[in-house]
Amino acid sequence: MATKKFKTEVTDLLQLIIHSLYSNREIFLRELISNASDAIDKLKYLSLVDGSLKGFSFEPRIDISFTEDGKRTLTIKDNGIGMNEEDLNSNLGTIASSGTRKFLSSLTDEQKKDSNLIGQFGVGFYSAFMVSDKIEVISRKAGEDKAFRWTSDGKSSYEIEEAERSEQGTTIILHLTEDGYTFANRYEIDSLVKKYSDHIAYPIYLEYDKVNYNYEKKDDKGEPEKTSEHVVEQINTCSALWRRPKSEIKDEEYKEFYKNNYYDTEDPLFYIHTKAEGATEYTTLFFIPQKAPFDMNYADYRPGVKLYVKRVYITDDDKTLLPTYLRFVRGIIDSEDLPLNVSREILQENRVMASIRNSSVKKLLSEFKKISENNPELYDKFIKEYNRPLKEGLYSDYANRDALLELVRYHSSSRDGYVSLKSYKEHMPADQKSIYYLTGGKEETLKASPLLEAYKKKGYEVLIMDDDIDEIVISSVYEYEKLPLKAINKAAAMDDLKEEGDEKEKEEKKDLVEKIKKALADKVKDVRISSRLVDTPAVVVNDDNDPSAQMQRIMKQMGGPEMGDVKPILEVNASSPLIRKIEQSSDEEYVKTLSSIVLSSAMLQEGIMPSDPVAYTKAISELLSK
């Protein structure tokens, strides 16, 4: 028997693992199962390619058993590739990766206490020392006759000796510490396997003694007779569906998988299964639920996407997996290239993860687009549920804004249902140079707005943006395919409607404008002659850089700063009878009353409460009684 000292970095690593991962020590089982699965992967591969093991036949399996009496042990056994003496020395006596070694030596004592840092590398096998005071590894390499036993207390040295093992593979026997005793338990093991390793592609069996009570037969103390039965039961479902070739998976299987794993009784609206090969290798399987998850618009919504590394569950912290606006997506990302113990903090900065995330977003958006083109009926259902989160994306995901602009839909002043920007553009008359929209209220109010009159007359469509987030979102989008987006309740949009003679009219009506301005004193920012009104006497609009009334209301609701007086601009229709009356009157009081009624009515039309409703009603009754 040879006793060997661990390389110093192993001793360091062991200390580091025990200290920093202790609170999460249950992960040791995941690590050991994952190693077993890798070992089977390796042997399977070698049995398929040319070499001495080609044609090697075996039934892959992983077996877990435990003893409860006396010194408790937990055993994990696989029939994978196995290790010979040299492998045991190099794999379990040193840290294989030079990157890990370098990383470890670069840590300061302070950093070593930080449990997040440890997650950067695969702690793997050594994590089992968090629950064991002695570990035996009995292994026989496939194609070789001799087996070896590696034994260590995880302190500073290990021993290797010859041993017996009837077939290839590795048996790991953990001699549990007092703290680790809880893991020598059928229910604990079962739940850990289901939590972390359910999708391991090979069957995992748990061996235990099942106690049966016979209530028909009582012993002299009146207790029912106990008999025990030795049971070997498969505890994982092996259902790594996403790993199978797409061509072999039936539609029904996808649907069943979705319903079983995402607590939905309905089939998904659609699903997207992608296998990426090349620089980064990964598989994604995404599902879109029929109905938006009930908590989609809550801050503490339940995330729906899980990250696996080589079929081992890592995290469901979806903020690092997909952008928040895609929080309605359910599914799996399974990477071949990430380290198993990658922590959330590290994930956020991990390049492989970033690349998977970017391509997943692109894939999802491009699939949504395809559906919008090829299956409008399905897309209608989709957009009814998910228009709003996609609009959030316009605001938060600048890199994908162009793709998102093709996906979002709006109501329209001239058509029923939802309209895309693309279709808006196709409907534009030749002389129209901008995309017009109106925000700030309910669909019905907006559709009745007098601001629409002139646009309708010219045959211009106006997008009706009645979602509360539209205004915030759309003000950050300046153009679509080189066409500027203009809010028609802003002053600038009027310039597009100018016709010949407008300038002359403005000159002629200078006195009228001054008269109303004087009458309204500090209630308005400006008074202008409107080019966009047909029947209505006046409208209020906002200066281009001022927030609209709706925006001010939202800011106030969200507890934002009081905006002070953001005064509107009053646009008057010089040819309307009411405005004419003002023009013709020389009674200052009368002009004042009329002007204030015009202003308040214009505000009411847009769903804005006049600042002094009492004065408004008073002015009206005064007028009526005259």
Interacting residues toward ligand ADP by CB under 6 A:
31, 35-36, 39, 78, 80-83, 91-92, 96, 122, 124-126, 170
Indicate the residue among 98 and 621 with the shorter CB distance to ligand ADP: 98
C-beta of 152 vs 360, nearer to ligand ADP: 152
Residue 93 CB, nearest approach to ligand ADP (Å): 10
How far apart are alpha carbons 332 and 274 in whole angstroms?
10
CB closer to ligand ADP out of 20 and 542: 20
Whichever of 34 and 531 has its CB closer to ligand ADP, that residue is 34
The CB-of-99 to ligand ADP minimum distance in angstroms stands at 11
Which one, of 555, 553, 534, lies nearest residue 606 by Cα?
Answer: 553
Structure tokens at 72: 């408790």
How far apart are CB 202 and ligand ADP at their closest, in Å?
Answer: 12
122/268 with CB nearer ligand ADP: 122
Residue 89 host element (H or E): helix 85-92
C-alpha 407/C-alpha 421 separation (Å) is 9
Distance CA(248)–CA(225), nearest Å, equals 50
Shortest Cβ 83–ligand ADP spacing (Å): 5
Indicate the residue among 119 and 393 with the shorter CB distance to ligand ADP: 119
**Nearer Cβ to ligand ADP (94/237):** 94
Task: Choose among 79, 72, 60: nearest CA to 236.
Answer: 60
Cβ–Cβ under 8 Å, residues 120 and 21: no
Residue (21 or 322) nearer to ligand ADP, CB: 21
Q: CA 475, 479, 482 angle in degrees (round to 5)? A: 170
> Least separation, in Å, of the C-beta of 126 and ligand ADP?
6
Nearest distance from residue 61's CB to ligand ADP, in Å? Answer: 13
One-letter amino acid at 613 equals P
For 338, the token pair is 């990430």
Instruction: List, in sequence order, the alpha helices (H) in 128-185.
Output: none
The residue type of 353 is: M
Rounded to whole angstroms, how far apart are CA atoms 384 and 388?
Answer: 9
Q: Which residues contact 248 (CB under 8 A, 6 or more apart)?
A: none
d(CA 471, CA 297): 18
The alpha carbon torsion through 313, 319, 321, 326 (nearest 10 deg) reads 120
- Least spacing, CB of residue 344 vs ligand ADP, in Å: 19
Q: Which residue is nearest to ligand ADP (CB)?
A: 124
CA distance 232 to 207: 4
Residue with tokens 């890199």: 399
Q: In whole angstroms, how close is the CB of 339 to ligand ADP at the nearest point?
A: 7
Residue (138 or 602) nearer to ligand ADP, CB: 138
From the CB of 392, what's the least distance to ligand ADP, in Å?
39
In angstroms, the CA 41 to CA 91 distance is: 17
